């Protein structure tokens, strides 16, 4: 594997998703100077997607006016489970035929730069820790939780990502919080992901609507209830819709249990909650914090801040930047 170029001023961070791949060029302080985005075409196989990744990196460097000789290296956040050191993807949800794929070698070869990778949520946690919610807080430990289609997690201990024995660490979405609850894709019943992910939120609202409850949501999605999204529910809740408020209150309670468990277990200094729905405001955060205060052990809670993610869409690419910085001992 190629070594990073310590004399470069810039680093390229890549955030690979099932729909889009984004590359951003950043200086060593996490200031993004240019970026590019392309459709990742994940279902068309690695022969299509890997060249797209290489192209989006070239596009981002061109957009920034930066040449390869001035780049230290590339850091990528990739969904799924990997042997990151070897650049190998073990499996990746939504990416066709990626099992066993050697991802880093073709990227290194095409661009002549060192490249590193990690699980997407782990990498986003690194980004928040160094350049986002953790910036300037002088903390050594943090857990990031992302709420979305799935619920992912990343654990930072002593300033370093905790990968686990075989890179399975940080799966806080699969902690069981209600054993008689919904079925998760992982096979568990009632884990945090199954109780508070996107589908759980929508399903909870639909169930109340089918029971005949009055809500503004009925008009907002008419006639297709399948168009209901957590964002719409958050919007209705913000306008005082009782059913929507109730749905987010229940969701916040489950998330709060997950956060309290995390605090009790790890005694970290910060828990960062990201993902679209985390921006819903007090209607979600009040029940989260109420539950955390009720369930977290007092001494552990005293030293822990629970905060929303600060970087939004930039967490992934900036986390990639951190991968390279850490490789250079910075």
Residue nearest to Zn ion (CB): 184
- By C-alpha distance, which of 131, 15, 144 is closest to 74? 15
Find the shortest distance in angstroms from Cβ 153 to Zn ion. 12
- 50 or 200: whose CB is closer to Zn ion? 200
- 191 or 327: whose CB is closer to Zn ion? 191
Q: Which two tokens stand for residue 170?
A: 């940080």
- 134 or 150: whose CB is closer to Zn ion? 150
- 174 or 198: whose CB is closer to Zn ion? 174
Interface mask toward Zn ion for 82-121; x: CB under 5 A:
----------------------------------------
Q: Give, in order, the Cα–Cα distances in Å from 305 to each of 161, 227, 300.
A: 19, 35, 10
Q: Give, in order, the Cα–Cα distances in Å from 70 to each of 33, 65, 138, 261, 325.
A: 13, 10, 30, 44, 14
Find the shortest distance in angstroms from Cβ 140 to Zn ion. 29
Find the shortest distance in angstroms from Cβ 226 to Zn ion. 23
Determine, following the binding rule CB under 5 A, whether residue 253 of this chain makes contact with Zn ion. Answer: no
Q: How many CA atoms lie within 13 A of 71 on its CB side?
A: 27
Cβ-count burial of 287 within 10 angstroms (0-12 exposed, 13-18 middle, 19+ buried)? Answer: buried
Name 19's Cβ contacts closer than 8 Å, sequence gap at least 6. Answer: 39, 40, 42
Whether 121 and 89 have beta carbons less than 8 Å apart is answered as no
- 35 or 193: whose CB is closer to Zn ion? 193
Interface mask toward Zn ion for 127-166; x: CB under 5 A:
----------------------------------------
- 182 or 208: whose CB is closer to Zn ion? 182
Candidates 39-47, 97-105, 167-175, 204-212; binding stretch for Zn ion (CB under 5 A): 167-175
Find the shortest distance in angstroms from Cβ 189 to Zn ion. 9
Q: Give, in order, the Cα–Cα distances in Å from 224 to each of 207, 218, 220.
A: 15, 9, 9
- 193 or 314: whose CB is closer to Zn ion? 193
At CA 259, angle to CA 246 and CA 248, rounded to 5? Answer: 15
Output the CA torsion sign for 114, 120, 123, 128: positive
Name 302's Cβ contacts closer than 8 Å, sequence gap at least 6. Answer: none
Binders of Zn ion among 168-207, rule CB under 5 A?
Answer: 174, 184, 186, 188, 191, 193
Find the shortest distance in angstroms from Cβ 255 to Zn ion. 15
Binders of Zn ion among 260-319, rule CB under 5 A?
Answer: none
Size of the residue set binding Zn ion (CB under 5 A)? 6
Find the shortest distance in angstroms from Cβ 155 to Zn ion. 17
Backbone angles phi, psi at 235, to 5 degrees: -65, -45
Find the shortest distance in angstroms from Cβ 154 to Zn ion. 16
| Residue pointed to by tokens 């810039």 | 10
Measure the CA–CA gap between 13 and 23, rounded to whole angstroms: 6
- 186 or 297: whose CB is closer to Zn ion? 186
Find the shortest distance in angstroms from Cβ 258 to Zn ion. 12
Residue ranges in contact with Zn ion by CB under 5 A: 174, 184, 186, 188, 191, 193
């Amino acid at each position: 594997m190629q070594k990073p170029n310590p004399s470069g001023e810039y680093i390229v961070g890549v955030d690979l998703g099932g729909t889009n791949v984004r590359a951003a060029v950043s200086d060593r302080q996490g200031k993004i100077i240019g970026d590019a985005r392309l459709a990742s075409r994940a279902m068309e196989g690695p022969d299509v997607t890997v060249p797209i990744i290489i192209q989006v990196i070239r596009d981002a460097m061109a957009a920034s006016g930066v040449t390869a000789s001035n780049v230290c290296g590339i850091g990528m956040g990739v969904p799924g489970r990997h042997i990151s050191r070897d650049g190998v993807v073990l499996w990746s949800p939504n990416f066709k035929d990626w099992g066993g794929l050697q991802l880093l070698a073709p990227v290194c070869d095409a661009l002549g730069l060192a490249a590193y990778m990690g699980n997407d949520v782990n990498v986003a946690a690194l980004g928040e820790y160094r350049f986002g919610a953790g910036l300037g807080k002088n903390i050594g430990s943090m857990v990031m939780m992302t709420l979305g289609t799935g619920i992912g997690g990343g654990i930072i201990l002593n300033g370093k990502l905790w990968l686990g024995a075989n890179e399975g660490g940080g799966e806080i979405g699969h902690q069981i919080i209600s054993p008689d609850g919904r079925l998760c894709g992982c096979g568990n019943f009632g884990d945090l992901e199954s109780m508070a992910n996107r589908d759980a939120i929508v399903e909870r609202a639909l169930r109340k609507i089918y029971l005949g409850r009055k809500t503004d949501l009925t008009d907002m999605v008419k006639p297709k209830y399948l168009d209901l999204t957590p964002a719409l529910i958050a919007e209705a809740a913000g306008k005082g819709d009782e059913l929507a408020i109730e749905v987010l209150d229940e969701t916040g309670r489950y998330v709060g249990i997950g956060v309290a468990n995390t605090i009790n277990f790890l005694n970290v200094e910060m828990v960062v909650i990201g993902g679209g729905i985390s921006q819903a405001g007090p209607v979600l955060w009040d029940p989260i914090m109420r539950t955390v205060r009720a369930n977290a052990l007092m001494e552990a809670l005293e030293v822990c801040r629970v905060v929303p993610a600060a970087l939004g869409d930039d967490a992934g690419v900036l986390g990639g930047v951190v991968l390279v910085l850490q490789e250079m001992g910075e």
